[in-house]
Amino acid sequence: IVVTQGSNIGLCLVAWFLAWIQCHVLIALLPIKLRRFPLQFISVILCISIFNFTPAAAHNWMRGFSGVHWIIANLFVICSIFCLQSYVTFLLNKRESEPLDIDSQAEIGNEGWEQNKWVIGSIVFGILGCISYSTPLALWPILCAAAVVMRFPRRITYLYFAASIVVIGLYFFTYKTPSNHPSLTKINPLKAIEYIPIYLGGIFSENIIIASIIGIIGLIGVTGFVGYWLFVKKVDRQNWLPWLSIQLYTLQTALMAAVSRSGFGLEQATASRYATLPALFWMSTIVLTVLSVRELQPTPRIQARWLTPLFAVTTVAIILMYGVGGETAIAIARRATYQPLVALSLQLGITDITLIKDRVGNKPAAFVGLIDALKTNNLVPFNRDIKKHNFCAQLDTKIDPNLLSAPKDGVPGYFDTVTKLAPAASRVIGWVGDPENNVKCIAILNQENLVRGFAMSGFPRPDLVKLFGPAYQSAAWRGYIQTSPTDKLLTAYASFKNREGWVALRNSQTINNNRNIP
């Protein structure tokens, strides 16, 4: 935030940069042997890249403040798993060179800093992840399980268990259920169970039933992979470990989300802000499928035949993922166009909860709580004077009368109300007929043609649908003005993208300064 000054674009670039680093770490987790088969290697890298930057997570890519938290937490988890795999590789290599100690957990453990740095790194990255967000709590059971299954030296195993108990214990000791979250004592177990497959499959479909079916297929797959890894001795454990760890990590985050958020409804499981985690799950599923085919069938030609259906299904999945992400991106982009209006209201001293809820986020109280801090630190939306620098018209400037025209029959519109919400600021509301979406903005001028504020169209107006048809569903406009004792008459003028000048809307508002504006 210090670097970006709270700019959403800046924070989004940070999120993309963190995801770029994560993508490189994920590629580094691939077995070196896979590089000998260029077609398979390139195909897997392409899948990793697409799922790492999943379009279904449009919320994280387009709303940087949210995206940075989710992605940096995932990055720290992936780095921790990378350190875990590196230590396992070292351990297995040492056991191969010292076969007499292969069944001993106690003998190996005096490796020194050069080797134990991987253990320390996995713990440090895990702690950093938990500082960033709560999802990396799911990493600690994986570290402990890996230490037991891979027969780490006892002191390393004890270290993992001790660190896990401290980190998880400290979290739950300080945890408080948010006031807007359902109580953990009122969890519906069946709803929580239903939530998990929807959470996993939601990046491919917003339909709960379809998402649930896809998620169940994924759960069956991870069960098979874990069973194969545990009980088939010939499997290359160190190459499978990171991808199984990622699968189990995302599966545990699904469980955490089910416990804490299933009370909001099953539809919430498909929320775009969660999508980076299911994307990691399916990416790992693809990699594990490739590795299992290579384990079961050593002949490259037959491997290609087996993998062709996998990549065909993956292609369909990617298309579905882009469909889900595209719809979310359009909705977020539309809401983002109203940032100047939100900035104007706040800089005029108006906290319009309805506007914040409709155009900023569904938790207006959280945003309102940040307003003073944003203003104190000169962060967005206080990093520039929106009254002087906006897309519509600079406040307190005079519009040339030659650019102003009276109401026209071809431009239906109305100035409904002026409502005082602050000592020197008011909200203005009206509507304008704009079926072709050509209205740029609405400027509010006083009797001297001085700009007092601006408004934006696109707000719902159900009553107009009954009168004029569905084209007027979003014909309402809303804006904010700074008021002056010298104002006697306020007129709304519409500006259009495809023409010059301003067209007045009907019903100018007469201001009586002997009484308050209603």
pLDDT digits (tens, 9 = 90+) for 402-424: 999 998 877 889 999 999 998 89
**Secondary-structure percent of the chain, ordered helix, strand, coil, rounded to 5:** 60, 10, 30
Compute the average pLDDT of residues 19-33: 95
Q: Where in the chain is the domain with CATH 2.60.40?
A: 385-510
The hierarchical CATH code for the domain 385-510 is: 2.60.40
> pLDDT averaged over the chain?
87
Evaluate if residue 80 carries a pLDDT over 80: yes
Query: Which amino acid is residue 289, in one-letter code?
Result: T
Is the pLDDT score of 87 beyond 50?
Answer: yes
85-89, 108-112, 453-457, 503-507: the lowest-pLDDT one: 108-112
Cα–Cα dist 138/249, whole Å: 6
Give the tens place of pLDDT for each residue, 189-231: 888 899 999 999 999 999 999 999 999 999 999 999 999 999 8
| Helix 139-149, helix 64-97: angle, nearest 10 | 10
For residue 116, pLDDT over 90 is answered with no
Residue 138 has a pLDDT of 95
Give phi and psi for 142, each to the nearest 5.
-70, -45
For residues 271 and 195, which has the higher predicted lDDT (pLDDT)?
Answer: 195
With a cut of 90, say whether residue 146 has pLDDT above it: yes
pLDDT in tens, 155-192: 999 999 999 999 999 988 887 766 666 666 677 888 88
Q: Looking up tokens 């387009």, which residue turns up? A: 62
Instruction: Tell me which of 147 and 517 has the higher pLDDT.
Output: 147
Quickly state the pLDDT bin for 53 (edges 50, 70, 90): very high
Phi then psi for 161, rounded to 5 degrees? Answer: -65, -40
Q: If you average pLDDT over residues 88-100, what whole number do you get?
A: 79
**Which of 111-120, 279-288, 446-455, 476-485 is predicted with the least confidence, judged by mean pLDDT?**
111-120
Q: What is the mean pLDDT of residues 93-105?
A: 62
Q: pLDDT value at position 354?
A: 85
Lowest mean pLDDT among 20-24, 267-271, 463-467, 499-503: 267-271
Q: For residue 93, what pLDDT is reported?
A: 84
The C-alpha angle with vertex 335 and arms to 331 and 337, in degrees rounded to 5, equals: 120
Burial 268-293 (b: 16+ CB within 10 A, else e): bbbbbbbbbbbbbbbbbbbbbbbbbb
pTM reported for the whole predicted model? 0.81
Report the C-alpha gap between 455 and 494 in whole angstroms: 9
Binning pLDDT at 50, 70 and 90, where does residue 108 land?
very low
- Check residue 376 and give its pLDDT: 75
Give percent of the chain with pLDDT exceeding 90: 56
